[in-house]
Amino acid sequence: MDATESKDLRRGTRVYWRGDAADSGVITETSWDAVTIAWDNGHVAVVHHGDMGEIQLGSLGSPNLEWK
């Protein structure tokens, strides 16, 4: 996704690394310059909006669902 799409993300949105359903996480925080992603593998990452190019909203193999 691009920076504009990233800035519209909300807490609880599920995202995928390169569209891989096996490599996903949930947005836990948002700010003016970045989002925090809690990946399902236990890692937590702060990713700046301009660096979200490899992160997608939907996986290639499953529907886009939001965690609540």
CATH of the domain at 49: 2.30.30.40
Residue 64 belongs to some domain of the structure: no
pLDDT band at 60, cuts 50/70/90? low
Q: Is residue 45 part of a domain?
A: yes
* Residue 40 within a domain: yes
Prediction pTM value? 0.84
What is the span of the domain harbouring residue 26?
Answer: 3-56
pLDDT tens-digit readout, 1-38: 999 999 999 999 999 999 898 999 999 999 999 999 99
Determine the pLDDT at residue 68. Answer: 46
Tokens of 48: 């700046």
Tell me whether residue 61 is in a domain.
no
The number of distinct structural domains making up the chain is 1
Read off the pLDDT of residues 29-52 as tens digits, 9 standing for 90 and up.
999 999 999 999 999 999 999 999
* 65 occurs within a structural domain: no
Produce one character per residue of 30-54: b if its CB has 16 or more CB atoms within 10 Å, e if not. Answer: beeebbbbeeeeeeeeebebeebee
Burial class (CB in 10 A: 0-12, 13-18, 19+), 10: exposed
Residue 33 forms part of a structural domain: yes
